[in-house]
Amino acid sequence: MAFDFILMLTADDRTIPDARARLDEALEGGVRHIGFKDVGLPFSELRGLADAIRAAGGRSYLEVVSLDERSELASARAAIDLDVDVLLGGTRAAEVTRLTRYHPVRYYPFPGRIVGHPSVLEGGVEDIVASARSLAELEHVHGLDLLAYRFQGDVPALMAGVCAAVDKPVVMAGSIDSEARVCAAAAAGAEGFTVGTAALHGAFPADRSGFAAQVRSILSITARARAQSTAPRRIALAAHDMRKSHLKAWVHRHARALEGHRLICTGGTGKMLVNAEPVLTIQRLQRGARGGDQQLGALIATGELDAVIFFIDPTQPHGGDADLQALTRLAALHDTPVALSPAAADMIAAALLPPPEGPLPA
């Protein structure tokens, strides 16, 4: 995701008793990333909650708050059994990944030393950054869940330090209760942030009362903060043969804005763009006919793309039309924006890519 809001149906580090009813209000507000804790409700009710999030087209998160090893591993098994999309939190990554590596759940553990309930992050910035770096090196750790505002030191420095130290996404969690804190997380390079208790207590300014209005307010704040986000975007680029020149021209036109972001391309398109814009960071997959489109689909399914730009030629039949249909279906299922033409791609660029500073080249 490209800096998103994860709503936690929690208060004081527990899933709220009326989480199922609150979920309907949250969906009315428009949120898609929704999580809960592994404590507070019976497992059967957590299963119903997870199923309802998925049925509504959302992405589900379970955050671990257990402090002892036995409970934490039980929580990891619960995440697997509930079939959530993302497991947040926990401190025993080596043990948890022995379970999660065989399942599709994405795993974001806590860096640093976590104590107490509600959880608090202790230690110095350098120690927490070192912990983050060590966790990110583990193959089956997909990102980090940083309890930034449960830290008593320099929070902006901590967030920036962790984001700069790792090449995996970082979610900011814990006591984010204002637009200033959301914007600080975006500026530090976070992938997203969680809000739970603050939304339930009406901490954010809204045009009316109610939980749905709080959700809409936070989504508006998120959109404004996204313009300040420094996290690299992950954008897929592909084109039919008769539209490759159009894509090359589009990339050249947006080259300055694309610098520093991750571009993932099917083989032939990637080769063309590497030669045309060697300063860009381009990852090449297989050629489309050899499975590249399916590789893009897998990245969509695991939440590793922020957008897909695929310039199609609608005037000719293509052998890969079934692949394109599958790709667009997955993008719709996982709420990933897709552009099939230069005008649509311009809109994605305007939404996701901060404008470059300074005068444009002649």
Supply the residues annotated as catalytic: 293
Residue 268 and residue 274: Cα distance in Å, rounded? 10
Helices (DSSP H) in the chain: which residue ranges? 19-29, 43-55, 69-82, 93-100, 125-136, 155-165, 179-188, 197-200, 211-226, 244-253, 255-258, 267-276, 292-301, 321-333, 342-352
Degrees, nearest 5: CA angle 85-31-62: 30
| Among candidate residues 227, 203, 226, the one with its CA nearest the CA of residue 214 | 203
Residue 114, strand partner residues: 121
- Provide the 10 A C-beta neighbour count for residue 102: 10
DSSP conformation class of 68: S
